[in-house]
Structure 1
């Protein structure tokens, strides 16, 4: 089966992706945006042109051409030729994997892609970017978590889990509260508290996501985005972006990887409060027992 919104199961090109990731730190800003788009949408590049990529990223076609030349390709035709060669030379994913025999027929490919998506999250977990994200959350006076439509529940769950590890964490419902949480009150401290927004969004992206990101940037709040592999707009507002692959061949885009990323984030933040976390969790258990929730 295919994903409803993205319409295709991803094809990976590890050699090409490695080349792009290796070049990324030294690329000019606009070319880096194109490279990031290619990494996130590598499975669809066979259907792209220089014009289509430039329109989606918001750069000129010349910028796309410059990047291709820098990487050693003679235009999109040369790139597509290399991708085709890499695809044909690939070893079967499940070759030698005894565990695949226990997977129901037709689900092996899905399992491989779910494993791959989780692996990509753990790679990002090991990157310097992850440390910046965790430090941003830890240093913020107030943390807000938001998500829209189908991922609203995921965002609410993340806010509650994160709230167990540190104080001043709230789920932000932009529609319900109309951002009253960000209004300054008369008795508020004179020094503006530092705020951090964790935004979760996947395709089809909520209209409010980019609008709220813009407001967040304008107000000087820190912004962290957890999103899917097709999102290229998030970096217009922040460098603190974690990408989770969602196209694993299921009828709906998978939330396995993005859920794992959020769980790892909460765990990393908790590590900064090791001395007070036990006391905090004991207090929480006391409240839940008093309420007879469990």
Structure 2
């Protein structure tokens, strides 16, 4: 993505690791209600983020703006761009619902999340992550939290078919240290951790990292503390008009990874799938319409 097409949100994501603690606090506050959060007075933004006015001024300059006024002008330009093309926007709506219906407002938010997330992902890093996940020479551990365990289970279920040598670890269980007993250098951990970040997940990642494991992290736009330990990290935008965050973009990345790893290992995966289907036929778990 070229610099002239970067949104302010994109710039913040790129600079997060270079910001001070107070500046990161401010950045997270801006992203929380982006872009509305940056349209008020500088003093109001500082108050909302619980930082000083000079902190706002410094971070705005780090983002490449001469001052807060230029920063706000760019935000307003982004808003104008978002409301252009009403015909194109209408095509994404549910035809039977008005434009302000939750079916459309929620879908618009998810589409926007996907667009911003994919714009931040390095395809080479994604390919490298898929290569690590698909390598049966190293044990694969998949970890989820209180909410993200559903994504972890989904990935685990498919990876069980695709490759051997795999373990599902639930960090919410008090038995998760048991799984670390057999971790070897080079083993791979896929960890899902979104806000509110879980202490168990961070501790698990720290211990796995200390044993030489490689970590692939799926997180949100504010990034889990596990980010500091991860070899490869994917940040998904998760904010939607709901009391709960959205898993749609993270699920998209997860399903894309499943597809990529399946293709990488198709010669062996095909045989595993055929063997599994034969077992299902014996168990008669599923109805067959033939």
Do they fold alike, i.e. is TM over 0.5?
yes
Aligned to 1:155: 152
Counterpart contact for 2:194–2:224, Cα < 8 Å: no
Kept after mapping to 2: 8 A contact 1:118/1:257? yes
User: Does residue 1:268 correspond to 2:244, yes or no?
Assistant: no
Cα distance in 1 for partners of 2:20, 2:140 equals 29
> Mean Cα displacement is larger for which, 144-153 or 175-184?
175-184
Equivalent position of 1:146 in the other structure: 143
Deviates more, 1:95-104 or 1:64-73: 64-73
Distance 1:180 1:269 in 2: 28
| Residues 143-152 or 246-255, more deviating | 246-255
Cα separation, 1, equivalents of 2:82 and 2:170 = 46
Segments of structure 2 that go 5 or more residues without pairing to the other structure are 39-43
**Which secondary structure state, in structure 1, belongs to the residue aligned with residue 216 of structure 2?**
strand
- The corresponding residue for 1:104 is 97
Output the aligned Cα RMSD: 3.6
How do 1:37-56 residues align onto structure 2 when only pairs under 5 Å count?
42-43=34-35, 46=38, 48-49=45-46, 52=49
1:219 aligns with 2:211: yes
Give the match for residue 30 of structure 1.
Answer: 18
Equivalent of 2:162 in 161, 165, 177: 165
Secondary structure at the aligned position of 1:194 is classed as coil
1:128 to 124, 128, 142: 124
Inter-partner Cα distance in structure 2 for 1:213 and 1:53: 30
Aligned length: 266
Q: Which structure is richer in relative contact order (CA contacts within 8 A, separation 6 or more)?
A: 1
Q: Indicate yes or no: 2:11 matched with 1:16.
A: no
Check the 8 A contact 2:170/2:176 in 1, yes or no. Answer: yes
Structure 1 unaligned runs (5+)?
1-12, 56-60, 186-191
Stretch moving more, 137-146 or 228-237: 228-237
Aligned twin of 1:207? 199
Secondary structure at the residue paired with 1:150?
A: coil
Aligned to 2:232: 240
Looking at structure 1, the residues matched to 196 and 132 of structure 2 have their Cα atoms a distance apart, in angstroms, of 27
